[in-house]
């Protein structure tokens, strides 16, 4: 399963799964390169950074923001007329 690092609170890493479930784990269980926004997967009892999943999520978020901005820009043009 893949999780997103929601935040790091001192020695605790707070993860969110795709369903919005929040999970907390000790920072010691993660690789040193972990940071907020990282995607991690849990396999064979170990958390590992999933760079490919992170890249997909960033692209998806970028595209969603672009669509929203285009929609807002279109709405503003229609209001001005």
Residue with tokens 């929609």, as numbered in its chain: 71
Instruction: Report the pLDDT averaged over residues 6-19.
Output: 95
Instruction: Report the pLDDT averaged over residues 5-20.
Output: 94
Residue 1 contacts by C-beta under 8 Å, 6 or more apart in sequence? Answer: 17, 41, 42
CB 39 within 8 A of CB 57: yes
* pTM of the full structure: 0.72
CATH number of 2-80: 2.40.50
**Residue range 24-75, pLDDT digits in tens:** 999 999 999 999 999 999 999 999 999 888 788 888 888 999 999 988 776 6
Domain ranges of the chain: 2-80
pLDDT of residue 77: 66
């Amino acid at each position: 399963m893949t999780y997103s690092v929601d935040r790091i609170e001192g020695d605790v890493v707070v993860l969110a799964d795709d369903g919005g479930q929040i999970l907390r784990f000790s920072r010691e269980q993660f690789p040193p390169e972990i940071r907020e926004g990282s995607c991690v997967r849990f396999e064979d009892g170990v958390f590992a950074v999933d760079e490919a999943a992170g890249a997909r999520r960033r692209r998806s978020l970028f595209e969603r923001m672009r669509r929203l901005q285009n929609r807002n820009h279109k709405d503003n043009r229609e209001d001005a007329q």
